[in-house]
Amino acid sequence: MAASMDKVLRFHEMGLDDRILKAIAKMGWSTPTLIQERAIPLALEGKDLLARARTGSGKTAAYAIPLVQRILTSKQTAREQAVRAVVMVPTRELCSQAHKNILELTSSCSWEVKCADVSVQADLDAQRPLLMEKPDIVVGTPSRLLAHLKAQNLTLKDTLEVLVIDEADLVFSYGYENDLKSLLTFLPKIYQAFLMSATLSDEVFALKKLVLHNPVTLKLEESQLPDVDQLTQYHVKCTEADKFLLLFTLLKLRLVRGKTIIFVNDIDRCYRLKLFLEQFSIPSCALNSELPVNTRTHIVDQFNTGLYDIVVASDETSLATDKKGVGKKKQKKSKSSKGKGREYGVSRGIDFQNVMNIINFDFPPTVKAYIHRVGRTARGDTSGSALSLVSEKEMEPLAKVEKYLVKDDGSSVIKPYQFKMSEIEGFRYRCTDAMRAVTRVAVREARVMEIKREIFNSKTLKTYFDENPRDMQLLRHDKILHPAKVHSDLRHVPEYLVPKALKNKAQGASFSAPEAKKRKSKHKGPRESRFAKKKRRNAADPLKSFKFKKS
């Protein structure tokens, strides 16, 4: 039964188990979000759901809470342990995230409800003991789950009660259509199903016909992005060279503070930007599809805990989608592009926490990609900002986004960023010097160096970190690559280059030379000779200045 619009339905009014309410209170959730308020009561009634809600609206908890509740209820009369629920997610990063969220919800009943993530890239035989224990909930990608079903490590024909497909609009577009159709043959005829999605695309309706039985469709009447008072969006029209100049000054003069994700459209630009920021001693870490999955997950986890402030993320899947089209069935994909498309997408679903700023260094090619990128900030009750740097070639995608995202009065929600380029002209020569050092050869060497380093860490240190989990925090991903020549003079900003408007707002921040250089010139006045210095030191020494007078 859906809640009325006047009264907000609280968690304790939904008939949930006390152990679930205790876990919810521990996570600090005071009131349910709109999707949770509408979906949870319907799911508890046993109805199939097709739910569309914007990014960051709490879709994971909307299906996880009734899922755990159903398992707790079933186990009161169950005679044996069995796999009762399957959560299907398109990527391994999202599987890890969903698994973590379910563990948090079952923290007060961890002995009663067991959850296993089988998406980890390991041998099927190595994961067989895990599935032999018959965890109540199994999380995995469609291809991984199908492999376990074919290997008979997992049986669902007689025990499955709930099937969840999260980020449903990505399942077909990531190439899982055949895997999913094969997987459905291993399921019983009757089960409850949830489809959760940020958009209701053709792929979602195709999944609806395959999986759901007389579902309730929840299409919440809310904008796909937070309100203007929670999310502020800006754009700056500039040349390609000015993008680097603007980004450097925004970060170095601390006009952008807090956790920041900088989006680019391909991997080369990802490393080019990282090397460019290294010239000015601005630490950042790269996040792209070339890195191992464990590394990508580790980067996101450490970013969420506050170890890094800046992530340069390549969102190349949105570009590939725009060029090739999503809904076409007959496509010839290379093996490399298939692997990237099926396993990766930074702007989709990954739970970056407490992100203050999104910077679109390369403007996304589609409206959908823009919404998902900007949706990484202003999640839940937090506020955030998004800044897009738009070159002349990117004016057409900007116009489409402005036309799509409009206020009630018809004006665009993306406002022009008031920034005087004349005030930062003094930084241009520094930006040019840094760009000269970031050559194609340097970018290629940086890519190879990063991949070698991360693969080495993944293979060599895996067993060590299993035994010493605390030392995992010491493995940083924002280390300097240094394949390009670094100009030491670019590290600090001279006082004379700081704009007048910012000198009062610096609040004691040092933009000039380091303190070590300032300490050198302590003595003021005319320069002393060597003999004068010696005489002054002797006068200050009581053993040398003492004079004995005869009585």
Summarised one tens digit per residue, pLDDT across range 367-380 is 888 988 998 898 87
pLDDT at 341: 42
The verdict on 72 and 170 lying in the same domain is: yes
Among 210-224, 320-334, 351-365, 404-418, the minimum mean pLDDT is found in 320-334
Among 52-61, 205-214, 263-272, 347-356, the minimum mean pLDDT is found in 347-356
pLDDT at 466: 67
Whats the size of the chain, residue-wise? 551
Mean pLDDT (the chain, rounded): 83
Torsion of CA 140, 143, 144, 146, to 10 degrees: 100
**110, pLDDT greater than 50:** yes
Joined tokens for residue 408: 């009630």
pLDDT at 485: 64
The pLDDT of 346-350, averaged and rounded, is 62
Torsion of CA 105, 109, 110, 116, to 10 degrees: -50
Long-range contacts of 496-504 (CB under 8 A, 24+ apart): 496/426, 497/426, 497/427, 498/253, 499/253, 499/423, 499/424, 501/423, 502/253, 502/255
**333, pLDDT greater than 50:** no
pLDDT at 187: 95
Q: Is residue 529 part of a domain?
A: no
The verdict on 197 and 310 lying in the same domain is: no
**526, pLDDT greater than 80:** no
* 80-95 b/e (C-beta count within 10 Å ≥ 16 → b): eebbbbbbbbbbbbbb
Q: Would you call 260 helix, strand, or coil by DSSP?
A: strand
pLDDT at 220: 77
pLDDT band at 300 (very low <50, low <70, confident <90, very high): confident
Phi/psi zone of residue 175: left (φ > 0), alpha (ψ -120 to 50 degrees), beta? left
Per the CB < 8 A criterion, the answer to whether 153 and 124 are in contact is yes
Which of 219, 252, 279 finishes a domain? 219
What's the 3-state SS for 460-503? HCHHHHHHCHHHHHHCCCCCCCCCCCCCHHHCCCCHHHCCHHHH
Of 84, 57, 75, 59, give the one whose Cα is nearest residue 19. 75
The pLDDT of 246-250, averaged and rounded, is 94
**507, pLDDT greater than 70:** no
Which of 195, 219, 243 finishes a domain? 219
**Measured distance CA(261)–CA(373) in Å, rounded:** 9
The verdict on 177 and 279 lying in the same domain is: no
pLDDT at 460: 55
- Dihedral of CA 344/359/352/70: which sign? negative
Q: Is residue 530 part of a domain?
A: no
Q: pTM here?
A: 0.74
pLDDT at 46: 95
The verdict on 173 and 265 lying in the same domain is: no
φ, ψ dihedrals at 390, nearest 5°: -115, 120
pLDDT at 13: 93
Residue of 267 and 419 predicted with greater confidence:
267
Q: Is residue 167 part of a domain?
A: yes
Which of 219, 251, 272 finishes a domain? 219
Of 318, 368, 350, 279, give the one whose Cα is nearest residue 94. 350
pLDDT at 331: 42
pLDDT band at 156 (very low <50, low <70, confident <90, very high): very high
Q: Is residue 24 part of a domain?
A: yes
The verdict on 244 and 280 lying in the same domain is: yes
The verdict on 102 and 140 lying in the same domain is: yes
The pLDDT of 296-315, averaged and rounded, is 89
Q: Is residue 348 part of a domain?
A: yes
The verdict on 119 and 248 lying in the same domain is: no
**473, pLDDT greater than 70:** no
The verdict on 87 and 135 lying in the same domain is: yes
The pLDDT of 274-296, averaged and rounded, is 88
**Chain CA centroid to CA 274, Å:** 17
**CATH at 51:** 3.40.50.300
The verdict on 274 and 150 lying in the same domain is: no
Of 514, 515, 517, 495, give the one whose Cα is nearest residue 506. 495
Q: Is residue 475 part of a domain?
A: yes
The pLDDT of 8-28, averaged and rounded, is 92
**328, pLDDT greater than 70:** no
pLDDT at 334: 41
**Measured distance CA(442)–CA(429) in Å, rounded:** 20
Q: Is residue 4 part of a domain?
A: no
**408, pLDDT greater than 70:** yes
Residue of 114 and 455 predicted with greater confidence:
114
**520, pLDDT greater than 80:** no
The verdict on 167 and 296 lying in the same domain is: no
**181, pLDDT greater than 70:** yes
**139, pLDDT greater than 90:** yes
The pLDDT of 329-351, averaged and rounded, is 49
**350, pLDDT greater than 80:** no
Residue of 245 and 331 predicted with greater confidence:
245
**Measured distance CA(84)–CA(75) in Å, rounded:** 10
pLDDT digits (tens, 9 = 90+) for 194-246: 999 887 888 888 899 999 988 999 987 667 788 888 899 999 999 999 999 99
Among 114-118, 261-265, 502-506, the minimum mean pLDDT is found in 502-506
pLDDT band at 457 (very low <50, low <70, confident <90, very high): low
Please give the single-letter amino acid code of residue 186.
Answer: F
Helices 316-324 and 367-374 meet at what angle, rounded to 10?
A: 160
The full DSSP string for 374-426 is HTTSS-TT--EEEEEEE-GGGHHHHHHHHHHSB-TTS-BSEEEP---GGGGGG
Long-range contacts of 451-454 (CB under 8 A, 24+ apart): 451/290, 451/291, 454/291, 454/292, 454/295
Percent of the chain with pLDDT over 90: 48
**521, pLDDT greater than 70:** no
The verdict on 159 and 272 lying in the same domain is: no
Per the CB < 8 A criterion, the answer to whether 388 and 414 are in contact is yes
pLDDT at 159: 94
Helices 240-252 and 267-278 meet at what angle, rounded to 10?
A: 50
pLDDT at 200: 80
**332, pLDDT greater than 50:** no
The verdict on 242 and 208 lying in the same domain is: no
**Measured distance CA(445)–CA(447) in Å, rounded:** 5
Range of the domain at 262: 231-321+342-503
**119, pLDDT greater than 60:** yes
Strand partners, 287: 313
Helices 34-44 and 59-74 meet at what angle, rounded to 10?
A: 20
Q: Is residue 326 part of a domain?
A: no
Q: How many folded domains does the chain comprise? A: 2
